[in-house]
Amino acid sequence: MLTAEVLDAVGGLTSHIKSYAAKLPPIVRLSTVPSGVKPTFEAVDSYENLVSRLRRQSAGTPYKALNESLVSSLEAFEVGNLLGAIQPLLSTLDHLERMQRDKEIAIGRMDEMRLKEYRAALHKVLPGNKPELDRAGGGM
């Protein structure tokens, strides 16, 4: 298993999260969503397939340590918990960076750029990270 394959899966999961977040009303409680706004069955199935494939391929590799975070993200995504789905993916990206720093894996320049891109995309989706709200509440 290569880092690029892990990043492909994380990119797919990030895409699902972005699509789901786009369907949410502007202000939603972080842990509960109206039942009609949960991810579609197809989106959950696709998310689950990505996680399952990555778990199967990572067995016996340094990447198997990522499995717990990926399953946590899947479980949160299934019930529509946006924050609960994003945090484990950010943790996965952190873990990949630690693995690179500790020389457990090699990450090429293009993969480093993808890692940063996925992190930025996930941070943009996080509630309260809207540019139009910057400086809000700062007074006059």
Domain ranges, residue 125: 3-130
Statement: residue 137 has pLDDT above 70: no
In a domain, 71, yes or no: yes
More confident residue, 48 or 35: 48
Residue 140 lies in a domain: no
Across the chain, mean pLDDT equals 85
- Could you give the number of structural domains in the chain? 1
CA distance 28 to 46: 24
Asked if the structure places residue 139 within a domain, the reply is no
Predicted local confidence at residue 32, as pLDDT: 53
What type of residue is 33? V
Answer whether residue 113 is part of any domain. Answer: yes
Instruction: Judge whether 13 lies within some domain.
Output: yes
Angle at 74 between CA 71 and CA 75, to 5 degrees: 90
pTM for this model (two decimals): 0.83
User: Measured between alpha carbons, how far is 53 from 9 in angstroms, rounded to an integer?
Assistant: 9
Structural domain contains residue 60: yes
On whether residue 67 sits in a domain, the answer given is yes
21 is a domain residue: yes
